[in-house]
């Protein structure tokens, strides 16, 4: 999938999810039960389903061969789009998924000393009616001296080679070594959603280009 195809496939996804919401609303009315549409993360199956499809359905698609399926209505994790563009693409699904939903953005390093950038992201997500928003970034910790940051191999402070690599790929922070094979594949493919620093600048660009 190319980034220029995102609008096309996002709109197809919206049509599908709209139909799903209509059905859940219909069932709720018919059965007088609290039935809702959940944008499930499917964390435990994201890696198993591609393996199953390849083994049982002779699935030869590029998507299955990546070793994982992207969760929920999220855009593919290996597409390079900026933070605000990702929020825009996923925002319409939040209203439809009344049983739960999340949108996250991925940073390539800890936002140390740049809390205003995080505030901009949160403000922008709120302005787009995102109901549940997360900001992911790598966190490496040296058990020997307690240094924190993003380390390539060893601790830059004490030289310790045994580093705890904490990543948020399964909805919560966990050590990279504990990930399933599917989540390891997803982590390897993930691309940071870097881009505009200030959402006000992004809004100005949208007004100039006519984008929504």
According to the model, what pLDDT value does residue 199 have? 47
Q: Mind listing the domains of the chain with CATH numbers? A: 3-209 (3.20.70.20)
The whole-model pTM stands at 0.80
Which portions of the chain are predicted below pLDDT 70? 1-4, 42-44, 60, 170-173, 178, 195-212
According to the model, what pLDDT value does residue 31 have? 97
How, if at all, do strands 148-149 and 103-106 pair? unpaired
């Amino acid at each position: 999938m190319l980034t220029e195809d995102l609008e096309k496939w996002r709109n197809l996804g919206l049509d599908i999810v709209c139909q799903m919401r209509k059905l859940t609303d219909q069932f709720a009315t018919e059965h007088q039960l609290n039935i809702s549409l959940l944008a499930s993360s499917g964390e435990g199956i994201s890696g198993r389903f591609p393996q199953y499809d390849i083994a049982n359905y002779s699935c030869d698609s590029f998507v299955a061969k990546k070793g994982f399926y992207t969760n929920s209505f999220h855009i593919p994790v290996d597409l390079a789009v900026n933070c605000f563009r990702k929020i825009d693409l996923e925002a319409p699904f939040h209203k439809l998924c009344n049983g739960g939903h999340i949108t996250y953005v991925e940073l390539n390093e800890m936002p140390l000393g740049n809390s205003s950038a995080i505030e901009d992201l949160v403000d922008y997500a709120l302005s787009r009616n995102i109901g549940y928003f997360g900001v992911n970034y790598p966190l490496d910790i040296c058990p020997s001296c307690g240094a924190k940051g993003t380390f390539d191999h060893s601790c830059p402070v004490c030289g310790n080679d045994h580093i705890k690599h904490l990543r948020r790929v399964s909805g919560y922070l966990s050590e990279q070594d504990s990930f399933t094979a599917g989540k390891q594949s997803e982590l390897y493919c993930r691309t940071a959603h870097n881009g505009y620093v200030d959402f006000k600048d992004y809004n100005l660009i949208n007004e100039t280009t006519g984008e929504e």
